[in-house]
Structure 1
C-alpha cells in the first residue's frame, strides 16, 4: 500500500470536474489503477481495465442495480404517457397544496424523510414526485438533486430497522462489540454529518439562502426560466423526460400515484422475502429490482384496464424509457469498476493506516471522521468505508477508553459524506438521474453544502471528543 493507491480515484474526480467529461475521466481512473497494478504497463493496464468493466456484471448485485436504474426510465415514460405525471402536478398545484418555491422544497424534503427503507428508492420517489412540480415553479434541477441526495443516505443511516442498520450491526458484531444495538442507537444523536445535512436542506428551503454554484443555478432558473443549464447533459434522455400524455387521455394523478406506491410498498416486501422473514437481512439490490418490475407491471395493467395503452404500446414505451437511461447504466458500470480497482489497490486501507498514526483519545472521533470522509469520497462507497473503518476505529476506541457511540458515529458520518457527494457514489448518480440533472452540475452545486455540513460535524466531533472522553 502506497500513496499511488489514492491516485486513480482522485485523478478521475478532479479530471471530471475540470473537463466535464465524466465518462472519459472515470475510464482514465480505471485505466490508471490497472496500469499501476500491471507494473506500469499501459497496454496491459488497458486490457485489464476492459476486463474489469466486464467483470462488474459478475456481481449479481451490481447487475441488478444497473438493470433497476434502466427500468426507472421505463416507469418515467409510462407515467408521463398515461397522463399520470400531468395529473399529479394538476392535483398538487390546482388544489393549493403547494403555493410557493419554499413549500415545494419542503414537500420534497418531507417525501425523502418519510421513505427510509433504501437510499435509491428514496432518491427515485422524491425525484419522480417532485420534478414536475419543481419544473413548473422554475426551481433548478440542481436544487432537486441536492434535496434527493440529502434525504437518502443521511436519513437511511439514522434508522436501525433497515438494510443500513443491519449492515452496521453486523460489522459491530464482528468487531466483538457487546450490546451493539444500544451502541448503534446511542450513536444516532451523535451522527453529526447526517443531522447537519438534513437540517441544512430545511434551512435553505425556508430562508432561500443559497451559495456557491447553487446560487447561480437558482438565479438562472428564476430569471431565465431554465431549470437546467444550456450545456447540461442530464442522465435521463430529454426524449424520455418530455413524453407528452397520449391524445384524448384525461390526466389523472392516480396513474402516477399507484405505480409509485407499488414501488414503495414492494421494497419492504422484497426485503422480507429475501431475508427469510427478516427485513434487516434481506437483499437490497434484489428488492429494488423486484419493486420497479412490479411497479411497471401494475402500471401496464392499470393503463390497459383504462384503455390508455395497449400491451404493445406499454412494451414499446418500456424499451424507449430504458434506452433513455443508457448513459446512467454506463456511468454506474464505470463507478463500480473504479470501486473495484480501489479495492485491489487497497486505497481505503492505506488512508486508514496513515491516519492511525495521529490517533489520540480526545481527537479519535475527529480523526476517524476525517479519515472516513477521505475514504468514502475517494471510493464512492459508504458501506465499503464502514467495512474498513469499523474494525480499526472500534478496537482503538475500546483500547483508548474513548466514547464508543461517538467513535461509531464519526465512522458513519464520514462514510455518509462520500456517499452523499462523491461523483462516483451510486447514490449521487441516482440522485442526478432521479432529478434529470447533469451529474457534474449536481456534484458541483451540492459540494459546498456537503462541505458546510462536514465542517460543522468535524467541529462537533472535536468538541464532543473532549466532553465525552470515556465510554
Structure 2
C-alpha cells in the first residue's frame, strides 16, 4: 500500500511540475526577453548550447539533465550571464500546446485499447498471420509507410499497433524505434499530402510550393535511401554497431532492452478487464487517422471553400492533431461503453494512466522546444544563413552538397527539421534560376539534410516520439540509429555531387539506390562483430 501511495505521489509531483511549466510558458511575458541583446548573437557561440546538450546526452546517457544544462547555458549566453534574466528567458519560451494535447490523448487511447483487450486480441491475430521476424519487421515498415499524414502521429500509432507483434518475434525495442523513426519523417517528406508538404509549401514564397515539393521528391536521396536501407538490412538479416548488440540480446537472451535503462518495461502490464477483439484496436486507430485528416483540412479552411490541396498546405498540424485526437477519444467512448467493452469507471481510469505514460515524452519535448527557442533567440539561424550566402560563389556542382551538409549540421544542432528548411529554403530558392533543375536539386538537398540531421540529433522531437512509440530508452534509440543515419547521409552527400553534374533524376535515382545497396553489402562483408 505504501509503495502504491509513493508511486502516486511521484506521479502527482511530476505532473504538477509539467503543468506549472506549461502555465508559466503560456502566460509568461515576451516583453521581458525582447529587451535583451546578446553579445553572442549570430556567432558560433549561438550553436554551443544545443551542442552542449547533445554531447552531454551521448556521454551521460541521460537526456533530462543534458537538455536542462543546454537550456541554462543558452539562457546565460542570451542574457550575457545575467542570472535573473536567464531564468525569465527559460520560463517564457513558447511550447506547442496542440502537440502536447495530442500526446496525452494518444496515451489515453493506447491505455484504453490495452485495457479493453484490443491490443492483446490484435497481438494474437497478428502472431497467427505473421510467422517470422522478417514478416514482423516488414509489416511494421509497411504500416509506417501507410501512415504518412504526420510524423508525430506515425511514430505513436505504428509503435502502439506493432509493438505486441515485434515483441512476440523478439525484435529489440531499439530496432523497432529505428523502423518507426525511419518511416516517419522520411516518408512524410516525400508524401505530397502530409503536414510536412504543407510546411514546405508554406515557406517557399513566389513559387508554387507544392509543385516544387513534388518535383524535389526523386532527388530527396536521404529519405528514399533510408527506406531502401531498412528493406535491405531486413532482407539480409544484417545489423551493425550498437544495434547488433541489441538485436543479439533480443534473439538469444530474450532481452528486448539490453541496458538497465528501460523506462517502459512494465508499460504493457495494464490489466485487461474488457472483452474487446481486434476491431477494438483497429477501428479506434482508423477513426483517429480519419479525424486527424479532417482536422487538418478543417484548420486549412476546406469547409470554408478552400480547395483540398490548398487546405492541406495551409493547415495547422498542431491544432489539427489535438482536435482529431479529442474527437477520436469521444468516438471511442461511444464505441466502447454501449457495447460494454469497458465499464464507465474503467474507461475513466485510463485517463490518468495514459497521461502518466506520456509524462517522460512530454518533459523531453518541452525541454527540447525550450532549447530550440533559446537557440533561435541567440541567432543561430542568422549565423548559418550567413555561411550559406557566402558559399554561393562556389561552383554550381558543389552547391547541393554544401546545402545538404549545412542542413544536416543545423538540424542536428537545433533538433528541428522544420526549423531547418524554414531557415534555409528562403535563402536557397531566390539565389537560383527558378526554371533550372539545379534549384529543384538544391531544394531537395535542403529537405534531405534537414531530415538527416534530425535523425542524428538526440534533442529532435521526432526522434523522441519514435523512442516513445517503441517504448525504448531514448539514448538507446539515438546510439543505435546513429551509425545507420550517418551511412545513408554519407551516400546521399556523394550522390548530390554526381546529381549536380547529370541533373536527371531518371539516371541519378537508380545510381543512388544501387550505390546504397552496394555500400550495405560491403559493410556486411567487412563488419565483424565482437564475440558476445
Normalising to structure 2: TM-score of the pair? 0.82
**After the TM superposition, which residues 228-267 of structure 1 pair with which residues of structure 2 at under 5 Å, given as runs?**
228-234=257-263, 237-246=264-273, 249-250=274-275, 252-267=277-292
Q: Map of 1:374-413 to 2, 5 A cutoff?
A: 374-398=409-433, 403-413=438-448
Q: Is the 8 A contact 1:20 1:440 kept in 2?
A: yes
Greater alpha carbon shift after TM alignment, 104-113 vs 162-171: 162-171
* Structure 2 residue 91 is matched with structure 1 residue 51: yes
Q: Is 2:356 the partner of 1:323?
A: yes
Of 99, 111, 115, which residue of structure 2 is paired with 1:65? 99
Which one is further off, 394-403 or 419-428?
394-403
Q: 1:354 aligns with which of 370, 383, 387?
A: 387
Q: CA deviation at 1:335?
A: 0.7
Q: Is the 8 A contact 1:77 1:240 kept in 2?
A: no
Distance in 1, Cα, partners of 2:488 & 2:112 = 38
The 8 Å contact of residues 372 and 385 in structure 1, kept in 2 or not, is answered as: yes
Decide which of 474, 490, 493 is 1:458's aligned counterpart: 493
Output the CA distance in 2 between the equivalents of 1:238 and 1:102.
Answer: 24
Q: Secondary structure at the match of 1:85?
A: helix
Q: Is the 8 A contact 1:100 1:137 kept in 2?
A: yes
- Distance in structure 2 (CA, Å) of the matches to 1:335 and 1:44: 22
Equivalent of residue 313 in structure 2, options 275, 280, 289: 280
Q: Deviations over 1:297-323 (max 9, x none)?
A: 233232212323222221111111211
For residue 78 of structure 1, what is the aligned residue in structure 2?
112
Change (3 A) 1:241 1:72: farther
Q: Deviations over 1:136-172 (max 9, x none)?
A: 1110011111111111111111122222222222322
Relative to 1, partners in 2 of residues 1:76 and 1:454: Cα closer, same or farther, differing over 3 Å?
Answer: same
8 A contact 1:102–1:205 mirrored in 2: yes
Structure 1 partner of 2:530? none
- Cα displacement string for residues 330-381 of structure 1 (whole angstroms, at most 9, x for unaligned residues): 1111011001001101113212322443442110000000000101111111
Q: How does 1:435-454 map to 2 (within 5 A)?
A: 435-454=470-489
Instruction: Work out whether residues 32 and 45 of structure 1, in 8 Å CA contact, stay in contact via their aligned partners in 2.
Output: no
CA distance in 1, matches of 2:342, 2:266: 18
User: Secondary structure at 2:94's aligned position in 1?
Assistant: helix
Question: Is the CA contact 1:127–1:435 (under 8 Å) kept in the aligned structure 2?
Answer: yes
CA-to-partner distance for each residue in 1:280-306, whole Å, 9 max, x for gaps? 322111121122222322332322123
Cα distance in 1 for partners of 2:212, 2:317 equals 24
CA distance in 2, matches of 1:230, 1:443: 13
Q: Which residue of 1 aligns with 2:45?
A: 4
Farther off after superposition, 371-380 or 323-332: 323-332
Task: Tell me the SS of whatever aligns to 2:192.
Answer: coil
| 1:150–1:197 Cα contact (<8 Å) kept | yes
Corresponding residue pairs, total: 453
Secondary structure in 2 matching 1:149: helix
Q: CA deviation at 1:401?
A: 6.8
**3-state SS of paired residue (2:397):** coil
TM-score, length of structure 1 as denominator length: 0.92
1:91 matched residue in structure 2? 125
Q: 2:209 and 2:121 mapped to 1: Cα distance? A: 47
The whole-number CA distance in structure 2 between the counterparts of 1:2 and 1:428 is 27
1:272 offset after TM fit, Å? 1.6
Please list the CA deviations of residues 418-459 of structure 1 after superposition, one character each: whole Å capped at 9, or x if unmatched: 333321111111111111010111111111111111011100
In 2, distance between residues paired with 1:302 and 1:160?
Answer: 32
Aligned alpha-carbon RMSD (Å): 1.9
- After alignment, is 136-145 or 221-230 more displaced? 221-230
| Native 8 Å contact 1:31 1:49 kept in 2 | no
SS in 1 for 2:432: helix
1:137 equivalent in structure 2: 169
Aligned counterpart, 1:122: 154
* d(CA) in 2 for partners of 1:68, 1:182: 30
Aligned-partner SS, 2:500: helix
CA deviations 1:92-143 (Å, max 9, x no partner) are 112xx21111011100110111111111111122111110111111100111
Q: Distance in 1 between matches of 2:378 and 2:435?
A: 30
CA distance in 1, matches of 2:48, 2:108: 37
Worse-matched range after superposition: 274-283 or 209-218? 274-283
Equivalent in the alignment of 1:291: 324
